Amino acid sequence: MAAGLDRSLLVLGPALDTDFYRAIYPDIADEGRDLVAHYAAAGWREGRDPAPWFSTAGYLERYPDVAQGGANPFYHYLTAGRREGREPVASAHALDYLVARKLVRDGKADLPVTAADRALAATEFDEAYYLFYQPDVAASGQDPLDHFLQRGWKEGRDPSRDFHLADYLELNPDVAAAGVQPFVHYLAQGRSEGRIGRRRLGFRHDAVARLRPLQERLADCEVWARAVDLSEAADLVTGLAPSRSGRRDLHITFSHDNYAAVVGGVQASVQREAARFVELGRDHLHVYPASPWPIVSTGLDGPPLGVLWNGVEVGAFRPEVLIAGLRTALAGWGDGARSFAIHSMLGHSSREVIDVVRIAGANAGHYWTHDFTSLCAGVHLLRNDIVNCGAPPPGSAACGICVYGPYRQRHIDEHTRLFRHLDLTVVSPSQVVMDTWRGADWMDPVGAQVAPLARLTPVRAKTAPPRDGPFRLAFPGTPSLHKGWPLFVDLAIAFEKDPRYVFLHLGKSKVGGLPVEHHPVSATATEPMAMRDALARLEVDAAMIWSLCLETFSLTAYEAAAAGAAIITGPDSGNIAAFTREGGHGLVLDNEAALTAMFESGEILSLARARRRPPLYDMEFSNLTADLEPAS
């Protein structure tokens, strides 16, 4: 055999789908025949196709220069064509072959995954993207591509940001009916036929398409609830025995999770509150659902409750056991100062909270509006997670079309009971939130006040240093829908090759498959300024904090301003928009189209550090309820 033919065999061998070649051309299906050698020597000249995704004749017709050169078209594509951006044409036999080799219709059994299928899928499968959105696969250690080809696609898991399984199957019922692997079909045949990998209808459409009834989410919470060893009342009595106040002064907090173990803005705020009460010499009892729970509870039959005592985990208790244990544990306490703060009612019931604070000898406390749990099960007041609803009257038509509507009255009833039985002062971290909350006239607080969680303090004679180079736009924090992450992603993709811009994500976890620099950042109790310092160190020109919801308070916005980064936000972002306007810290744009237009025109470059020379700030954090309570 000629040397040239030997070299071509090395290239063609791994790519030629022998199962396909043998099935489609039975005249050369001898088991002993070298099919790669056959295609290299004669098959391509006879117009035979080497794989479902490659048409020999189609490639030569699409690229006449290859035909004129007399080269083997498959060899040309593998060695030169794909690097030149040339696209293959699917074999006319592809769909028939895929249907013929299907084991069972309607997805009741897996199709065999050939080496050729795997090789083709690997060309556009985004492993980082898949593992980020499928943490169970990452934890299992299974090869992500194998998981997708064998099971993931049947479970509706997408292989990349450019291909959406549900869209492809809905738009192509013939593919759905055939039961073939949609991604392989798209790469092998569908794309060359003009089929699209996903709709481009915007992130709101995608969010609605993925929207699940709240009942299903509750079922998931039950399935995925953290396994806990339930403790007895006697364990609570023992755990609460050590006292820093000499069994006199006590502060109680309720929130949606363990502030000592979970990182977040509210958690950091509760940590500061707890630390200040340590300085005041009070004991601190913190109650939270042992596993995350997305709505309020009712009665005393809710999820187990975790307990922290002076920052130390005591255990997890059924609500009625918690009540019984506290009666015994606090029975001998003296007449000291008593205070309490409700930071979140998610996972709690009004009955439980009222019993706990009454047992402790308290009746007057503070209710913090860190979110809108008191007004709706949709704590961000986003109708179907995509548009601000403005908290319409309960039972309105707007609630009837929202997934949170059926659970809204439960939230209102539990909070109304709280305000009826306890003397609660509502504390909002911003005026814009207080104004919204005041519209809920079914509540009856004894008082109301605004208490920001932080404030900026100028650093004397210090400004952000000028810097040359591309405009650096950052998304700081958790990449979630209601924080505007999809808009940031759209910008990054749209301007990926524009030398004027660089896109950065500053947060705990990296999102794969995006043209975005990731820098791990996580603020903690010991490093509360981690985000501000990272924004300053990376010389970020602007931070995109485009919350879709009415933010009650945004520490991230304060951190961005403190670091000298301009804030870019939209009109519905609550405290972010108010802070940006009032302090002149950036731009509040009318809509998303205006945002894109500023990047297209380059007008956004006016926010570059070198042009603005912004001042830098330190931040002073509040101690929340500890700043509102008289010292004991």
Residues 6 or more apart whose Cβ sits within 8 Å of residue 444: 419, 420
Domain boundary among 451, 486, 519: 451
User: For residues 390 and 551, is the Cβ–Cβ distance under 8 A?
Assistant: no
Q: How many CB atoms lie within 10 A of CB 529?
A: 15
Long-range CB pairs of 105-108, under 8 A, 24+ apart, other chains included: 105/179, 106/179, 107/154, 107/179
In angstroms and rounded to an integer, the radius of gyration of the C-alpha atoms of the chain is 30
One domain for residues 554 and 464? yes
Give CA torsion, residues 267, 271, 272, 277, to 10 deg: 140
Place of tokens 């940001």: 161
One domain for residues 190 and 239? no
**pLDDT 10s digits, 302-344:** 889 999 999 999 999 999 999 999 999 999 898 899 999 999 9
One domain for residues 478 and 617? yes
Write the CATH number for 616: 3.40.50.2000
One domain for residues 234 and 296? yes
For position 136, what pLDDT does the model report? 74
Q: What does the alpha-carbon distance between residue 166 and residue 172 come to, in Å, rounded to a whole number?
A: 10
Q: What does the alpha-carbon distance between residue 504 and residue 535 come to, in Å, rounded to a whole number?
A: 10
Percent of the chain with pLDDT over 70: 92
Q: What does the alpha-carbon distance between residue 148 and residue 261 come to, in Å, rounded to a whole number?
A: 33
**Domain boundaries, position 70:** 3-81
Q: What does the alpha-carbon distance between residue 306 and residue 318 come to, in Å, rounded to a whole number?
A: 9
One domain for residues 491 and 581? yes
User: For residues 165 and 153, is the Cβ–Cβ distance under 8 A?
Assistant: yes
Domain boundary among 342, 373, 406: 342
Is residue 348 in some structural domain?
A: no
Is residue 239 in some structural domain?
A: yes
Exposed, middle or buried, 448 (CB in 10 Å: 0-12/13-18/19+)?
middle
One domain for residues 396 and 334? no
For position 106, what pLDDT does the model report? 40
Q: What does 568-611 look like in DSSP terms, one character per residue?
A: EE-TT-THHHHHHHHHT-EEE-SSHHHHHHHHHHTGGGGG-HHH
Is residue 593 in some structural domain?
A: yes
Q: What does the alpha-carbon distance between residue 594 and residue 286 come to, in Å, rounded to a whole number?
A: 45
One domain for residues 63 and 124? no
For position 459, what pLDDT does the model report? 82
For position 180, what pLDDT does the model report? 83
For position 224, what pLDDT does the model report? 67
For position 493, what pLDDT does the model report? 87
Q: The whole model's pTM is what?
A: 0.72
Q: Is 342 left (phi over 0), alpha (psi -120 to 50) or beta?
A: beta
One domain for residues 121 and 41? no
pLDDT < 50 positions in the chain? 1-4, 102-110
Is residue 628 in some structural domain?
A: no
Domain boundary among 451, 482, 516: 451
One domain for residues 445 and 475? no
For position 105, what pLDDT does the model report? 38
Q: How many domains does the chain have?
A: 5
Place of tokens 């499968």: 125
For position 104, what pLDDT does the model report? 34
Is residue 212 in some structural domain?
A: no
Is residue 221 in some structural domain?
A: no
Is residue 626 in some structural domain?
A: no
Q: What does the alpha-carbon distance between residue 172 and residue 170 come to, in Å, rounded to a whole number?
A: 6
One domain for residues 190 and 238? no
Is residue 352 in some structural domain?
A: no
Residues paired with 458 in a beta bridge: 617
User: For residues 213 and 228, is the Cβ–Cβ distance under 8 A?
Assistant: no
One domain for residues 474 and 614? yes
One domain for residues 410 and 280? no
